[in-house]
A and B are shown apart, each in its own frame.
Chain A
Amino acid sequence: MSNKYETFIGLEIHIHLEANTKMFCGCKAQYGDEPNTNICPVCMGYPGVLPMVNEKAMELGYKVARALNCKLSKNTFFERKNYFYPDMPKNYQISQFEEPVGVDGWMDFDTPEGTKKIRIHDVHLEEDAGKMIHAGDMSLCDYNRAGYPLLEIVTEPDIKTPEDTELFLRNFQRMVRYMGVSDGNMDEGSMKCDANISINLVGKGLGTKVELKNMNSPRFVRKGLSYEEERQADMLDQGKALTQETRLWNENRDQTEVMRTKEEAEDYRYFPEPDLPIFRPDQTFFDLVESGLVELPLTRKHRMMEEYKLSADQAEYIHDDLYLADYFEEAVKLGGDSVQLFAWLSSDVKKLLNRENLSLQDSPLTASWLTELLELISSEAISGKIAKKVLDFVFSDKKSPKTIVEEKGMSQVSDPAVLTAAVDKVMAANPDVVEAIKGGDNKQRGFLMGQLMKETGGKAAPVPLQKILAEKLG
């Protein structure tokens, strides 16, 4: 996009909270069950039922608001957001509007140009709708998801590029995972993100806002926004006016398409939910929120760079996954070298996990076993090459590296007597090669080393072996 324009991007992020039960009834909040099995009169909107607030969800909502540096409400309340939708049982959604759990926060995230700050408008609790499936000339509704606890995070339009948006979202995902409030999976629908974008001539402030929906990964959010940024710039270049509208990202066509214009926008007719009292958390509740705070991903990344001398990219890789970050730090504590640990985790271990289709959590390789493997290398008990084989065996035999090296006799041979005997034997078997080398054909040395490794089953320690061979060849 030409740099005469400035871009403003804001997000509305929804996360499913891991609060065990639904927001306003006791039904299980769980995916993948038979349709319409996790339902009751309350979440089906039967006449006469009343909502009961899920206190756990309330607590998680406040925790996220706190982690996003929001001003926490001392008297939050729910409101009814009215609109008709076939899979929404009450045809109003219990949500928050005037007094959400938190407002006026911010979140930092890292970009190639450094750390940036995005302001958070508000954090509010609400309930999800069900799911409608169209099958031929029928429409089927599954209400298992109806009433699922949702937290919506609304940012100010502070993000400047689609690329930054993707980075911001990934940092946000890491944050909710670190906090254990949601799994943050966009492809499974436990996290959703709608974006709004406007562009304008530099210095002119916000332009005409377009809302974008239906992007089910941070990457698609970036692609959708990039497409939209280009489209809007083209329109302005041609002197056309932009319309305030909602557009859908079509991932098959790689383009955005109009869903509805401003004129068709709903009037939600918010009013306070008369069935639920105002929630006034006491000090004990705020203490609980405070005590549940964890070190957030960005803080951890920066600490890891400082403490373990990792580069920004290395720390980015390690801190991306909470389990990996914990694993890494445990291994360091057990004496593992941080740079070596990064090297193994980001290449050989990763490759094996991919091959075996395992997560680090489910693999037999514990942090202490990986540390043990690194020790075997640094003490020269095995070579780096053998270590890769040992790692293979750890996965297949589920035994510690030491046990494998012992049982399979894989430790390096560095005893000069054994090595000298092998050199003598190989030289005796290849007199013409020896002659050629002595005549100055150094290329043949490699052949002799190969033969020697074969002779020792690959276990000869290379440095002393080469020394003895050199001496013998004179």
Chain B
Amino acid sequence: MNKELELWKGVLSDGTKKSKLEKYIKGWEEKIGSFLEIDLNRGAYDSNESGALAGIPFGVKDNIAVKGFKLTCGSKMLQTLVSPYSATVVSRLQQAGAQVIGKTNLDEFGMGSSTDNSALQQTNNPWDTERVAGGSSGGSAACVAAGLVPFALGTDTGGSVRQPASFCGIYGLKPTYGAASRYGLTAYASSLETPGILARTVATTKDVFDIIKGEDERDQSSLSYEAEGGQVKTIGYLKIEEGALNADVEASYKSSIKRLEDLEYTLVEVELPTMDYVVPAYYTIAMAEASANLARFNGIRYGYAPFMAENPNELMKKSRHEGFGDEVKLRILLGTYVLRSGFQDQFYVRSQKIRTAIRNDFEKLFTKVDSLVMPIFPTAAFHHGSSDLDSFQQKVADKYTCVANLAGLPALTIPSSVENGLPVGVQLMAPYFGEDRLFEIAVKAEEKYPAPQPEDFDLEWLS
């Protein structure tokens, strides 16, 4: 176990430390609102007290099931639902001793890049409370950046772990598709999403990943983990068009490339010909899958139900009309549209072809380079509301992150620099099951440039 986790070990079983933690959390939560539900005791019963991570708290994005905790998905639809079971990734961490202390805020059902699409609460960026923490795993990123927990779980469908990690100045791992079980992750876009890890150090990211990874019989799309291995010598960096990134992000990206060269990697500029098709293909597939995945919420077995309905069909209609937010409805409608018979070739099938082309692009690329460095988002954390970026611009901005989801490749956000008071990160990518390569580069970079800390970050009380 790494030094950071060693420091956190037993915090929840030590009365003094526990109350200090409680106080520390309370202070921060008044400013950032990262948790939707928090309880330092409830999770103890489900954690293995002799595990290596015993007494270590962690947060879980509220679209991941934890038995006995709510599973709201940031939606009015599921505001009252308490999960009857736990996700495999959660159970594995509990088996290792770690304890869930709460559920973190998110964009409703993971749909968004700001966490402002949560129907239940606003989450602010620990670096600037006027700004968003990113999304959709904004709550998980904010609580980790503020030091409330050493790590948190998120989900990454199109950048939902990496983008908030970048906005909050921490590490964010989206593993290879199939490397970590999706059982217990409320499905949004099943073929794209994976559970992900948000942490302040590479070591903790890696330790948590080692615990959650591997085949799960409950997720038949999961695979047994066989590391790709191989040493990193050459890193490709994506050629970026003039003006595609805002100035701060561009400066940060350039300095990251320089830093990697300083670490004695060979850097070569690369291009991804399919990059322009990424966003339409991504949203077509994501919305198509979402339209089916969210069909189960109908107010009958659990979740929001209207005060009254004349018949079962009206009950379903009213529940969905009143329970879902606008962004969710938009995506369900578009998903239904692209799957209509007679239109599939034009939309869904074509997107799958683009997806194959993207995979082929990467396959070729990884014969030339061992890893890849790319921007994450064209801007740093933006202001609440749509004054900086409207909802359409936010979707277009998913370009750099959703490509890893389409290809199923692993990607890791590493903090790069702080520009005008806001952290900016870059992402590293590797071939399938090449997480070790990402960690190898990240550890070297971390030695010189560790994750920055926001003002009021203070873990003195821990030691």
Contact = CB atoms under 8 A, between A and B. Distances in A.
Chains A and B bind each other:
yes
Interface stretch (B29-37, B134-142, B184-192, B450-458): B184-192
Nearest to A47: B186
A48 interface: yes
Contacts of A271: 288-289, 292, 339, 344, 348
Given A48-B185, A48-B187, A50-B182, A86 B316 contact: yes
Nearest to B349: A271
Interface in A10-49: 41, 44-49
B142 to A, nearest CB: 23
23 contacts: A45-B296, A46-B65, A46-B302, A47-B83, A47-B297, A48-B71, A50-B182, A50-B218, A50-B219, A52-B217, A53-B220, A82-B291, A82-B295, A82-B339, A84-B313, A86-B313, A90-B296, A92-B292, A139-B311, A139-B312, A269-B341, A275-B221, A276-B221
A85 to B, nearest CB: 9
Contact-size category for A: 20 to 34
Given A47-B71, A48-B87, A84 B298 contact: yes
Interface of B: 63-65, 71, 73, 78, 81, 83-85, 87, 182-187, 190-191, 217-221, 288-289, 291-292, 295-298, 300-302, 311-313, 315-316, 336, 339-341, 344, 348
A51 interface: yes
Contact of B301 (A45, A132, A269): A45
A274 B63 CA distance: 19
Contact of A275 (B71, B220, B297): B220
Nearest to B185: A48
B340 A48 contact: no
B336 A269 contact: yes
Interface string A276-291: 1100000000000000
A46 B295 CA distance: 11
Given A48-B83, A48-B87, A271-B339, 4 more contacts: A50-B182, A52-B218, A82-B291, A86-B316
Contacts of B87: 48
Contacts of B185: 48
Nearest to B310: A137
Contact of B183 (A48, A84, A91, A277): A48
Contacts of A277: 220-221
Contacts of B85: 41, 46, 49
Nearest to A80: B292
Nearest to A86: B312
A70 to B, nearest CB: 25
A276 B219 CA distance: 8
Contacts of A51: 220
A139 B315 CA distance: 11
Nearest to A141: B300
Nearest to A84: B316
Contacts of A139: 311-312
B305 to A, nearest CB: 12
A267 interface: yes
A50 B293 CA distance: 11
A89 interface: yes
A268 B291 CA distance: 12
A51 B191 CA distance: 14
Contacts of A132: 312
Contacts of A41: 84-85
A271 B288 CA distance: 9
Contacts of B221: 50, 274-277
Interface string A41-73: 100111111111100000000000000000000
Residue from B63, B295, B344 with most neighbouring chain A CB atoms (10 Å): B295
Pairs A-B, 6 closest by C-beta atoms: A91-B295, A86-B312, A269-B339, A274-B191, A274-B190, A47-B186
A425 to B, nearest CB: 85
B296 A89 contact: yes
Contacts of B336: 269
Contacts of B83: 46-48
Contacts of B292: 80, 82, 90, 92, 269, 271
Given A89-B301, A271-B288, A274-B289, A48 B184 contact: yes
Given A47-B71, A47-B186, A49-B183, A91 B296 contact: yes
A46 B183 CA distance: 11
A5 B305 CA distance: 53
A276 B220 contact: yes
B345 to A, nearest CB: 12
Contact of B340 (A46, A141, A269, A275): A269
A47 B78 contact: yes
Given A51-B220, A274-B190, A267 B341 contact: yes
Residue from A53, A82, A91, A139 with most neighbouring chain B CB atoms (10 Å): A91
Contacts of B78: 47
Given A90-B296, A91-B298, A269-B341, A47 B220 contact: no
Contacts of B348: 271
A48 B339 contact: no
Contacts of A267: 340-341
A151 B87 CA distance: 31
B186 A48 contact: yes
Nearest to B189: A274
Contacts of A276: 220-221
Contacts of B302: 46
A51 to B, nearest CB: 7
A89 B302 CA distance: 11
Nearest to A49: B183
Nearest to B75: A47
B295 A84 contact: yes
Contacts of B297: 47
A47 B85 CA distance: 10
Residue from A41, A47, A51, A132 with most neighbouring chain B CB atoms (10 Å): A47
Contacts of A49: 85, 183-184
B423 to A, nearest CB: 31
Contacts of B218: 50, 52
B352 to A, nearest CB: 9
A82 B335 CA distance: 12
A52 B65 contact: no
B339 A86 contact: no
B301 A50 contact: no
Residue from A41, A139, A271 with most neighbouring chain B CB atoms (10 Å): A271
A82 B301 CA distance: 18
A92 B300 CA distance: 15
A300 B408 CA distance: 54
Given A46-B84, A271-B348, A86 B298 contact: yes
Contact of B187 (A47, A82, A143, A269): A47
Nearest to A83: B295
B281 to A, nearest CB: 15
A47 B71 CA distance: 8
A86 B296 contact: no
Contacts of B184: 48-49
Contacts of A47: 63, 65, 71, 73, 78, 81, 83, 186-187, 296-297
Nearest to B81: A47
A91 B297 CA distance: 9
A157 B385 CA distance: 60
Contacts of A53: 220
B291 to A, nearest CB: 7
A139 B309 CA distance: 11
Residue from B63, B190, B300 with most neighbouring chain A CB atoms (10 Å): B300
B91 to A, nearest CB: 12
A84 B336 CA distance: 13
A357 to B, nearest CB: 41
A47 B323 CA distance: 15
A51 B292 CA distance: 14
A132 B300 CA distance: 12
A90 B293 CA distance: 8
